[in-house]
Amino acid sequence: MGAGHAHRLYRHGHSPVHALPPHTKLAAAFAFVVVVVSTPREAVWAFGLYAVLLAAVAYRARVPAGFLLKRLLIEVPFVAFAVLMPFVAEGERVDVLGLSLSVNGLWGAWNVLAKGTLGVAASVLLAATTELRELLLGLQRLRLPPLLVQIASFMIRYGDVITDEMRRMRIARESRGFEARGVRHWGVLAKSAGALFIRSYERGERVHLAMVSRGYAGSMPVIDEVTASRAQWSYALALPCAALVVCLLGWTL
Amino acid sequence: MSTDSIPASLEVSGLAFAYPDGHQALFGVDFAVGRGERVALLGPNGAGKTTLVLHLNGILSGGTGTVTVAGLPVGRKHMAEIRQKVGIVFQDPDDQLFMPTVREDVAFGPAAAGLKGAALQERVRTALEQVGMADFADRPPHHLSFGQRRRVAVATVLAMEPEILVLDEPSSNLDPASRRELADILRALDVTVLMVTHDLPYALELCPRSLILSDGVIAADGPTGDVLSDDALMRAHRLELPFGFDPKSVTTSGR
């Protein structure tokens, strides 16, 4: 594996979590998020336990806390929305530090913040321990429509090619003295985008030709069989199962 | 040409084709390529070379005439077999290499034909070794140099164990070292090769025999050295040797 091989969300390692088959990890992360979302928001302690569970997974996967927290920053725009809720929501109000806040809004904000953070943290962990390509294999294994998987894998393969083409077009524009400044130049940019679209479309046709020439008949052949043993499944599903116990406790207590 | 019991790798007879928009690209093309031969297909731009290539594995069809690959007529009935037997290496390796890693790309063809497990891995390894790219199996294609990508593109086709290898402009965009490496690889292969090219010295280096396709017909067919030395013929079909290149002064080892 060369440098720059992996996506930057991925953290190379050899932990037991890295070694799990991708579809078990996908299923576990998805089940975990479902369980978290269905937990009553009043059970504040339950969310604390979820966080502890994730921290345990991160520890097993040897993903440092700093790495995880930095990736969590993607959540910030949603947090901003959550912060607004106590100010705008209706209903009973309470005074905090001289500000009148809605009780409902406070609970709502907490709800969004806690569940969102846990969901994002679970996804970040999944991405940190699973390569993009493996994720696709996992999705294929979980019977996601093959067309969607194919589209996603072509995006990964050709993203760089198209970005490069875009860069060359920009250099060609700038070499002839063009600089995008203001609305008057939007026309030129729009035409470039159109040309890029047509080029990509034509490349798509050529790729299809190459695929058909090698025996493609509508479905991708299975090259890497991913299979999971019972032990691997139970190892992966330990996380959502533990979370489910917490959730049930949250509903009954 | 093969007159013995082994069928020719490729036989094209009376092939004519017009595109749906009415533009006629081929006007009755006839030629045969015997097993193990390396033949160059030369011709100016717009001579119908690409159209001809796309007929060889049945991507284009519907005109008149026939194409036979190792005794098998190209047609709907044997399409899967034909596409396994005719390996086309397209000009832009980025079009040819569409899977996330080199290994998966090389495996694509054989896997589509139903090969799996250890046999598939073995096939991939052999093909990559033939082009000297075995160490790059787990790399994504876009992280390779252009010459390496071209070699992997050849491997993707070799993995299907084709009867005939069809190369579209194999030397385009290659630096001299990559060009020579590719030539060494092609020379070492034990398959029939049809090489479509503008690169006349490359044709002379690799192919003992050449065809000229011009205006949709085969205008010449003979030993590459003779074809390239025939000034009148070359001029008539807009073929030009690079400055200072004299085919008569080059001694090719032949085969």
**Alpha helix segments (H runs only) across B167-255:** 176-188, 200-206, 224-229, 231-236
Cα distance between residue B177 and residue B160, in whole Å: 27
Class of residue A97 by CB neighbours under 10 A (exposed 0-12, middle 13-18, buried 19+):
exposed
Percent composition of chain B: helix, strand, coil (DSSP 3-state, to 5): 40, 25, 35
Of A61-75, A180-194, A212-226, B147-161, the range with the highest mean pLDDT is B147-161
Looking at CA atoms only, how far is residue A224 from chain B in angstroms? 8
* pLDDT at B254 exceeding the cut of 70: no
Cβ-based neighbours of A105, under 8 Å, separated by 6 or more: A85, A86, A87, A88, A89, A91
Could you tell me if B92 lies within 8 Å of chain A, comparing CB atoms?
Answer: yes
Could you say which DSSP state residue B78 is in? G
Count CA atoms closer than 13 A to B151's CA, side-chain side. 27
**Using 50, 70 and 90 to split pLDDT, how confident is the model at A90?**
confident
Mean pLDDT, chain A, whole residue set: 86
> What 3-state DSSP class applies to B27?
strand
pLDDT at residue A176, as a whole number: 85
B252 to chain A, any CB pair closer than 8 A? The answer is: no
Average pLDDT rounded to a whole number, residues A85-114: 80
Chain A positions in Cβ-Cβ contact with residue B118 (cut-off 8 Å): none
Residue B21 has pLDDT above 60, yes or no: yes
Contact A216 B112 (CB under 8 A): yes
Q: What pLDDT score was predicted for residue A3?
A: 37
Question: Is the pLDDT score of B4 beyond 50?
Answer: yes
Q: What pLDDT is recorded for position A2?
A: 37
In this predicted structure, the answer to whether residue A201 has a pLDDT above a threshold of 90 is: yes
Give the global pTM: 0.79
d(CA B182, CA B187): 9
Q: What are the distances in angstroms from CA A190 to CA A161, A184, A237? A: 20, 11, 49
DSSP A149: H
Measure CB to CB from residue A207 to each of B95, B104, B140 and give the nearest one. B95
Exposure string of A144-163, with b = 16+ CB inside 10 Å and e = fewer, is eeeeebeebbeebbbeebee
Contact B223, B196 (CB under 8 A): no
Closest listed residue to residue B35, CA positions, set B232, B194, B154, B176: B194
pLDDT in the model for residue B1:
47
Q: State the nearest Cα–Cα gap between A223 and chain B, in angstroms.
A: 6
Q: What pLDDT does residue B128 have? A: 96
Q: How far, in Å, CA of B95 to CA of A213, rounded? A: 12
Residue B2 in this model has a pLDDT that exceeds 50: no
Taken as a whole, chain B contains a residue count of 255
Sign of the C-alpha dihedral computed for residues B17, B166, B46 and B95 taken in this order: positive
Verify whether the Cβ–Cβ distance A223 to B142 is below 8 Å.
no
Pairing of strands A93-96, A99-102: antiparallel
More confident site: A217 or B27: B27
Q: Are the Cβ atoms of A217 and B157 closer than 8 angstroms?
A: no
Strand partners, B26: B17
Distance CA B251, CA B236 (A): 25
ipTM beyond 0.90?
no
Rounded Cα distance between A25 and A3, Å, is: 25
pLDDT given for residue A1 in this prediction: 36
Inspect the interface and report whether the beta carbons of B157 and A211 lie closer than 8 Å.
Answer: no
CA-based torsion, A14, A17, A18, A20: positive or negative: positive
Q: How far apart are CA B109 and CA A212, in angstroms?
A: 10
* Identity at B29, one-letter amino acid code: V
> What angle separates helix B102-112 from helix B117-130, to the nearest 10 degrees?
120
CA A216-A217-A222 angle, to 5 degrees, is 65
Pairing of strands B164-168, B192-197: parallel
Residue A215 to residue B116, Cβ atoms within 8 A: no
pLDDT at site A219: 78
Cβ neighbours of B59 in A, within 8 Å: 209, 212-213
